[in-house]
Amino acid sequence: MKHKKIETHKIGLVGQAPSRRGDPRKPLAGPNGQKIARLAGMSYDELIACRRKHLNTHYSGKRCKGDAFDRARGNVNAADVLMDWRVERIVLLGKNVANCFGFRDLPFLAEIRIYGRRFLIFPHPSGINRWWNERRNERRARQLLQRFLRGETVLGSHPKHRGKLAQRLRGS
C-alpha cells in the first residue's frame, strides 16, 4: 500500500527545552530530533522543514527526576504557538508540553481535535523517559506518529472516544 506523502508545511513539533548542549535557536536539532525523524519515517531534513519550537528556550537544569521545566514560560509560549502557527497538525512532545496546551491527564498517543487543529500527545523522546523501554510502545508510537503526520486518523480519536475525551478536557 502506498502511503500519502508527509506535507511538512502542515506540521508543527513542540518540545520542552533544548538539551544541555543544544542550540536554543534550533529546536529538535540534536539526538531527540533524529529519534523523532526516525520514528516518523522521514529524513532529518524533512523534520527540520516542519515548524518547531521549544516551550522553554534554554536548558534549565535538572531536578531530582528529569529536567526542571518552567511551566509559566511554557504556558505563554504554548499560547504563542496557538496564535502564530498556521499548521493543521501539532505533535506535543511530552506530558509537560501537553499540560501547557491544556491537555491534562491524557495518555500518550492520544489525538485531540480542538482549536481547528489536531494535536498528538507523544512521549518525550529522551532516554530519561522509561516509556520507551518497552518495544511494543516504540512500535505503536511509530505507527501512530506516521499516520498522524500523513493526516490520517489516529486510533483512539475515533468518534466513539471523542465524547469521553471532551468530558475530560472540560473537567466533567
Return the C-alpha cell found at 88.
Answer: 493543521
Domain assignment present for 1: no
Question: What does the angle CA 122 – CA 127 – CA 130 come to, to the nearest 5 degrees?
Answer: 70
Domain assignment present for 126: yes
Domain assignment present for 3: no
Report the CATH number at residue 66: 3.40.470.10
Reported as a pLDDT band with limits 50, 70 and 90, residue 172 is: very low
Kindly state the average pLDDT of the residues 126-144: 91
Reported as a pLDDT band with limits 50, 70 and 90, residue 167 is: low
- What range defines the domain where residue 42 resides? 8-170
- In the chain, the number of structural domains is 1
Buried b (16+ CB within 10 A) or exposed e, 111-129: bbeeeebbbbbbbbbbeeb
Give the model confidence (pLDDT) of 53-73 as tens digits.
999 987 766 655 555 788 899
How confident is the model at residue 115, as a pLDDT?
Answer: 77
Return the C-alpha cell found at 30.
Answer: 540534536
Indicate the pTM of the whole model: 0.84
Q: How many CB atoms lie within 10 A of CB 93?
A: 27
